[in-house]
Amino acid sequence: MRRLVTVRVMLVTPAINAGRAHALLGADEPLDAAGRRAAERAGARAAASLRTPAPAYAAPSVRCRQTADALGLAAEPEAELADWDVGRWRGRGLAELAAAEGEAVRGWLADPAAAPHGGESLLQLRGRVGVWLDGLPGAAGPGDSAGRADPAGPLDGDGADRAEGRGGSGEGRLVVAVAEAAAVRAAVVHALDLPSEAFWRLDVPPLSGTELTRRAGRWSLRCGTPLGQARAPDTAADPAPDAACPS
């Protein structure tokens, strides 16, 4: 039987806090009491799928570190999963910016290479997160172009493929990471080799799990799963590769 599953990555978004609730760009505020309680409840429900011997990481923001703690994860800090660096726009709302710098905001939304705020462009954000994703052990095999779709087409041997990664000889390495929503969206765009503009069409809810699985030279996606309903490593079947994010 071919060893198909090489790595599974569960990307978890942090619990909501005041900055996230008010849609402030790049805000990094600690979780409030409600957010911490929500993360603890989610951690209790998702213990089977998150608290494994797998490596765990957390973006350096306060909310991501606190969410990881509330989930019961012994997470190592990972700078590559940090929020989008929006430079001088940090801590400001998009509506406020649109009123004050409308032309700059429109250019930023339309051009993935634009960075009128002095921070990262969308292309730079995608590249940063992509480097981390492709650098995970098992993410790229011999002759594999990591992060690109496999031109060979659909996986063969459906029953055998689904048995891989669930305790069989092809069990993949599981990695759990609490990452900012922008980093999760960038990871999806990179892994599926989507146009960078697709970033703006993805909606990743707080305290949800987005699962990327690398098998047979390509990534497949399962995203927006509320924690506690995420697939445990030894139970549910693999999702379809074209599973869609909620909008």
Q: What is the 3-state secondary structure (H, E, C) of 103-115?
A: HHHHHHHHCCCCC
pTM, two decimals, is 0.77
Angle between helices 62-70 and 33-45 (to 10 degrees): 40
Give the Cα separation of 63 and 180 in Å (integer): 9
Helix (H, G, I), strand (E, B) or coil at 201: helix
pLDDT at 144: 46
- Length in residues, the chain: 247
58-73 pLDDT, tens digit per residue, is: 999 999 999 999 998 9
73 in Cβ contact with 11 (< 8 Å): no
* 17 Cβ neighbours under 8 A, 6+ residues apart: 29, 30, 31, 32, 35, 63
What average pLDDT does this structure show over 132-145? Answer: 69
Residue whose token pair is 């790595």: 7
Per-residue model confidence (pLDDT) at position 52? 63
State the Cα–Cα distance between residues 199 and 185, nearest whole angstrom.
Answer: 6
All residues at 6 or more sequence positions from 20 whose CB lies less than 8 Å from its CB, including other chains: 14, 27, 63, 206
- CB–CB of 212/9 below 8 Å? yes
How far does the chain reach from its first CA to its final CA, in angstroms? 38
Write the single-letter amino acid at 158.
D
- Which pLDDT belongs to residue 169? 33
pLDDT at 46 over 50: yes
How far, CA to CA in Å, does 75 sit from each of 35, 53, 59, 111, 154? 19, 12, 9, 34, 35
Q: What is the pLDDT of residue 238?
A: 33
Other CB atoms within 10 A of residue 204 CB: 22
Dist CA 61 CA 102 (whole Å): 28
- Of the pLDDT bands very low, low, confident and very high (cuts 50, 70, 90), residue 162 is very low
Domain 5-85+122-226: assigned CATH number: 3.40.50.1240
Strands 173-178 vs 56-58: parallel, antiparallel or unpaired: parallel
Range with top average pLDDT, 20-24, 167-171, 179-183: 179-183
Q: What is the pLDDT of residue 216?
A: 79
- What pLDDT sits at residue 156? 31
Q: What are φ and ψ of residue 214, in 5° steps?
A: -100, 120
